[in-house]
Amino acid sequence: MANRKPEEIRSIAIVAHGGAGKTSLVEAMLFDSGVISRMGRVDDKNTVSDFDLEEQKRSFSINSALCSFEYGGCAIHALDTPGFADFVGEQSSSMMVTDASIFVINGNSGVEVQTLKLWEFSSEYNSAAMFCVNRLDKENAAFESVVDDIQANISKNALPLYLPIGAEASFKGVVNVLTGKSYTYKGDGSKGFTEGDIPADMTDAVSSAHEALVEKIVEADDNLMMRYLDGEELAHDDIAAAMRKAVSSRMLFPIIPVASVPNIGVFQVLDAVVDYLPSPMDTSPRKAINGDQEVDAASDVNAPFNALCFKVMVDPYVGKLSFVRVFSGKLTSDQTIYNVSRGEEERISSFRLLRGKESSETKEVVVGDIVAIPKLDSTVVGDTLSVKGQNTLFPPIKFPKPVYSLAVSPKSRADEDKLGNAVRKILDEDKTLDFMKHPETNDSILSGMGDMHLDIALSRIKDRYKVDLETSTPKVPYRETIKKTAKAQGKYKKQTGGRGQYGDVHFELSPREKGSGVTFEDKVVGGVVPKNFIPAAEKGLREAAVKGVLAGYPAVDFNCAIFDGSYHDVDSSEMAFKIAASMAFKKAFVEASPILMEPIMNVAVTVPEDCVGDVMGDFNGRRGRIMGIDPDGKMQIVKAQCPQAETFRYAIILRSMTSGRGNFTMDFSHYEEVPPDTAKKIIEAAARERKDEED
């Protein structure tokens, strides 16, 4: 892939709902282009793009795998993306940096849930797209039905470029509706086809599809449109040029029938990538920021070098690999790269053109290239890379917030020592993961996009970094407070021979507004408690409040006034007054109608209309409150407030309840009182836990 010209580069993301056959399609593309001599199979765990240990173990894609190869005079950078919703970060970032996407649709299932989400990304990034209806050799596969599904649910501008010859087990080839040429395959996975004319029984279907496609193509060229309306016979070259323009501008989305495993129609997919999908020169310049101004990163090889790091991977042999897309200019490997986001220079060891886990070196990258750069120490996902003197910054990549969390704890002291380093490296690779130490519960919480996502992250932490973690449901950060005013005395008196201990305080606790915290007020008159012991009393109160009285949760939102007490000239000490204050607090708190408070979350659930009733009913069963329903295109957004204790497995439950069609966001709203029956159970559970610890 030497001497690449930008107009001869194609960058594509291969995307689909899980199980549609993306990886098999990429494998067939590599085979037909001559890059590999034999096609691997997902079930045999020997495909080029599913090389990760976890992918082979689970037989589905987890990471976006870069496969760069040549075909038809073009350098093609293909990103084979995961299909499951848990890996939405890999999907969206890959689609953001490529110029086009190939949507693989299962010929049995049609348009599925994740396909619709991926189409939203495609629309947001304004990138070209084409559709491959895959697995047409399987029983019950129906090309026409899937085409109808695409047009009804995605775009009416999606039209067949090829029609299938035969169906199900007899599917053996395709017909180009523009040229009328047919391509017949053996269907045994071998390379090559026989070119011929339109089968007699397909003449009418091809003619109808030809007319519909040409009518859509000429809309991209006013001159061609006038000639077409005047009845002029249009040359194929003119139609092909206009089609490329229509596809690049998202006026048209070609549909191609394929069966990747028996290798039927894949050559035609490759031809369409070369002939109709845009080069970087055909796309709009990427928007960037320079100072406080929006600027264009021109798709020009002579413009200043600008690139974006969209993925980081830790390779067990070469270490950290930073994946970058070049949006303008060019750079050679003997130059120094400048990380604009960090303000740091980094030395380039090489540029690597990847094909799964295999790689080759290139001395120069140009606009349109997607390559991996080893050992960029400071570069992370979302960083802009350029040369010294350039200050252009690409907007940061937007990743969805995690929606599912587990508390994790090391199994041994050795695991604890290695945990920080392991987590840091995992988070560098995957920006949809999060890790935090909860300040109130002291839980170490790992968060991600779902149970599968976290399961894989934990497996990687164990396999790569030899850190074994136990998991549990995170603790809820309950709080305790009071509803009325109460007074109590705390007296600590201890005589053990010699100097004793004596402290005596009278406290009055009164409730404050939610969120106002704990305040301490000195109302002592006449010096019954010396001024030098007041700070010790306050400290004793605050230390006692950290663990509350009801269930050991922090006591909040009250005022404590010290208004009386006594002391001993010899035996009184700061420690004695701290202990006395703790005793007075606990007695007064119990008398002040204490209650347990729980965090309430704002939840916004986006679901199809037919799922709204189920979602609302489920919230009612979770002590939730429906706050409203807003339309969002074909979807509905159910807004609710729900106790955090009822939401820890909501990502899994919603996916099951809506067959994967729902998604949600959640953030903290406020604290409110726990219902008495529920509070009783929480308090009893806390008491049992304390008893077990004491035993």
pLDDT at residue 175 greater than cutoff 70: yes
Give 425's pLDDT tier (boundaries 50, 70, 90).
confident
CATH of the domain at 222: 3.40.50.300
% of the chain residues with pLDDT over 90 = 76
Highest mean pLDDT of the ranges 86-95, 98-107, 229-238, 312-321: 98-107
**Shared-domain flag, residues 164 and 241:** yes
DSSP 425: H
Do the bridges between strand 158-160 and strand 253-257 make them parallel or antiparallel, or are there none, so unpaired? Answer: parallel
Of the residues 538, 569, 592, which one is the last residue of a structural domain? Answer: 592
**Shared-domain flag, residues 492 and 577:** yes
Exposure letters 81-94 (e unless 16+ CB within 10 A, then b): bbbbbbbbbbbbbb
DSSP 532: G
User: In DSSP terms, which residues pair with 562 in a beta bridge?
Assistant: 507, 522
Other CB atoms within a 10 A radius of the CB of residue 480 amount to 24
630 neighbors 663 (Cβ within 8 angstroms):
no
**Shared-domain flag, residues 268 and 296:** no
Return the pLDDT at 2.
60
**Shared-domain flag, residues 492 and 561:** yes
**Shared-domain flag, residues 15 and 115:** yes
Q: What angle, rounded to 10 degrees, do the helices at 534-546 and 574-591 form?
A: 50
Q: Each residue of 442-476: pLDDT tens digit?
A: 999 999 999 999 999 999 999 888 999 999 999 99
Give 552's pLDDT tier (boundaries 50, 70, 90).
very high
Position 694 in a domain: no
pLDDT, the chain, mean: 93
Return the pLDDT at 25.
97
Task: Determine if residue 402 is left, alpha or beta; phi over 0 gives left, psi from -120 to 50 gives alpha, anything else beta.
Answer: beta
CATH of the domain at 449: 3.30.70.870
Position 1 in a domain: no
**Tell me, what amino acid is at 253?**
F
pLDDT at residue 390 greater than cutoff 80: yes
pLDDT at residue 695 greater than cutoff 80: no
CA-to-CA distance for 49 and 34, rounded, in angstroms? 16
How many structural domains does the chain have?
A: 5
**Shared-domain flag, residues 304 and 345:** yes
Position 393 in a domain: no
Average pLDDT over residues 516-528: 94
Average pLDDT over residues 32-40: 93
- pTM recorded for the entire structure: 0.88
485: three-class secondary structure by DSSP: coil
Tokens, residue 692: 């077990």
Q: Each residue of 315-354: pLDDT tens digit?
A: 767 788 999 999 999 999 889 999 999 999 999 989 999 9
Lowest mean pLDDT among 30-34, 98-102, 268-272, 495-499: 495-499
DSSP 264: B
Of the residues 553, 572, 592, which one is the last residue of a structural domain? Answer: 592
Tokens, residue 115: 């396909």
% of the chain residues with pLDDT over 70 = 99
**Shared-domain flag, residues 274 and 330:** no
Return the pLDDT at 495.
78
Segments forming the whole domain that contains residue 668: 597-677
pLDDT at residue 674 greater than cutoff 90: yes
**Tell me, what amino acid is at 365?**
V
**Shared-domain flag, residues 84 and 224:** yes
Give 497's pLDDT tier (boundaries 50, 70, 90).
low
Average pLDDT over residues 368-386: 93
Helical segments of 397-533, H only: 413-429, 451-465
